[in-house]
Amino acid sequence: MEVSFSKEIESLRLGAGDTFHGEGILAITKALLQSGVAYIGGYQGAPVSHLLDVMVQAKEYMDELGVHVEACSNEASAAAMLGASIHYPLRGAVTWKSIVGTNVAADALSNLSSPGVTGGALIVVGEDYGEGASVIQERTHAFALKSSMCLLDPRPDLGVMTRMVEEGFRLSETSNMPTILELRIRACHVRGSFQTKDNVPPAISTRALMENPAGFDYMKLAHPPVTFRQEKLKGEQRIPAARKYIVEHKLNEFFDGQHKDLGLVVQGGLYNSLVRSLQQLGLADAFGNSDIPMLVLNVTYPLVPEQIADFCIGKRAVLVVEEGQPEYIEQEIATLLRRRDVQTRLHGKDLLPSGGEYSVEVLATGLTQFAAGYLPGPATEEARRWLTGNGERRQAAAAALAKPLPARPPGFCIGCPERPVFSALKLAQQQIGDVHIAGDIGCHAFGTFEPFSMGHSILGYGMSLASRAGVSPMMQRRTLAIMGDGGFWHNGMLTGVQSALFNGDDAVLLIFKNGYTSATGTQEIISSPKEDTKFEATDKGASIVHTNQTIENALKGLGVQWMRTVYTYEVEQMRGTLTDAFTSDFNGLKVIIAEGECQLERQRRIKPWLASLLKKGERVVRVKYGVDEDVCNGDHACIRLSGCPTLTIKDNPDPLKVDPVATVIDGCVGCGLCGANAHAATLCPSFYRAEVVQNPKWHERLFNSFRGTLVRALQTA
pLDDT > 90? residue 405: no
480-484, 498-502, 675-679: least confidently modelled range: 675-679
Q: Give the pLDDT score at 545.
A: 46
Task: Please report whether residue 286 resides in a domain.
Answer: yes
Could you give the number of structural domains in the chain?
A: 4
> Are 582 and 686 spatial neighbours (Cβ–Cβ below 8 Å)?
no
* Domain final residue, candidates 548, 570, 603: 603
Task: Please report whether residue 698 resides in a domain.
Answer: yes
160 and 292 fall within a common domain? no
> Are 280 and 333 spatial neighbours (Cβ–Cβ below 8 Å)?
no
pLDDT > 80? residue 385: no
Q: Give the pLDDT score at 165.
A: 98
Q: Give the pLDDT score at 711.
A: 87
108-122, 283-297, 682-696: least confidently modelled range: 682-696
550 and 440 fall within a common domain? yes
228 and 303 fall within a common domain? no
46 and 189 fall within a common domain? yes
Question: Which residues sit opposite 598 in a β-bridge?
Answer: none
> Are 662 and 632 spatial neighbours (Cβ–Cβ below 8 Å)?
yes
Whichever domain contains 365, its CATH number is 3.40.50.920
pLDDT > 90? residue 397: no
pLDDT > 70? residue 533: no
Q: Which of the four pLDDT bands, split at 50, 70 and 90, describes residue 543? A: very low
**Greatest C-alpha distance within the chain:** 102
For β-strands 179-184 and 345-347, DSSP reports them as unpaired
Taking the C-alpha atoms of residue 677 and residue 476, their distance in angstroms, rounded to an integer, is 29
Stronger pLDDT, 546 or 258, i.e. the higher one: 258
Task: Please report whether residue 84 resides in a domain.
Answer: yes
- The DSSP secondary-structure symbol of 560 reads -
Task: Please report whether residue 629 resides in a domain.
Answer: yes
Q: Which of the four pLDDT bands, split at 50, 70 and 90, describes residue 260? A: very high
381 and 505 fall within a common domain? no
Q: Which of the four pLDDT bands, split at 50, 70 and 90, describes residue 681? A: confident
pLDDT > 80? residue 380: no
Separation of CA 319 from chain center: 32
306 and 341 fall within a common domain? yes
Taking the C-alpha atoms of residue 297 and residue 37, their distance in angstroms, rounded to an integer, is 25
325 and 382 fall within a common domain? yes
Q: Give the pLDDT score at 532.
A: 52
* Domain final residue, candidates 603, 633, 660: 603
Separation of CA 578 from chain center: 30
pLDDT > 90? residue 277: yes
> Are 56 and 44 spatial neighbours (Cβ–Cβ below 8 Å)?
no
239 and 262 fall within a common domain? no
Task: Please report whether residue 693 resides in a domain.
Answer: yes
> Are 564 and 481 spatial neighbours (Cβ–Cβ below 8 Å)?
no
309 and 434 fall within a common domain? no
50 and 104 fall within a common domain? yes
Q: Give the pLDDT score at 268.
A: 97
Closest by CA position to 124, among listed 253, 239, 32: 32
480 and 587 fall within a common domain? yes
Whichever domain contains 514, its CATH number is 3.40.50.970
Whichever domain contains 641, its CATH number is 3.30.70
> Using only C-alpha atoms, what is the Rg of the chain?
30
Taking the C-alpha atoms of residue 436 and residue 497, their distance in angstroms, rounded to an integer, is 18
592 and 448 fall within a common domain? yes
What is the secondary structure of 425-482 as a DSSP string?
HHHHHHHH----EE--SSGGGGGGSTTT---SB--STT-HHHHTTTTGGG-SSPPEEE
pTM, two decimal places: 0.89
Range of the domain at 95: 8-195+214-248
pLDDT > 60? residue 540: no
Q: Give the pLDDT score at 536.
A: 46
User: Residue 401 — φ and ψ, nearest 5°?
Assistant: -85, 140
Q: Which of the four pLDDT bands, split at 50, 70 and 90, describes residue 541? A: very low
Q: What is the pLDDT of residues 214-229, one digit of tens each?
A: 999 999 999 999 999 9
In sign, the C-alpha dihedral spanning 302, 303, 307, 309 is negative
Task: Please report whether residue 491 resides in a domain.
Answer: yes
pLDDT > 70? residue 272: yes
Helices 419-432 & 571-583 angle (0-180, nearest 10): 50
Task: Please report whether residue 408 resides in a domain.
Answer: no
Task: Please report whether residue 610 resides in a domain.
Answer: no
For β-strands 262-267 and 317-321, DSSP reports them as parallel
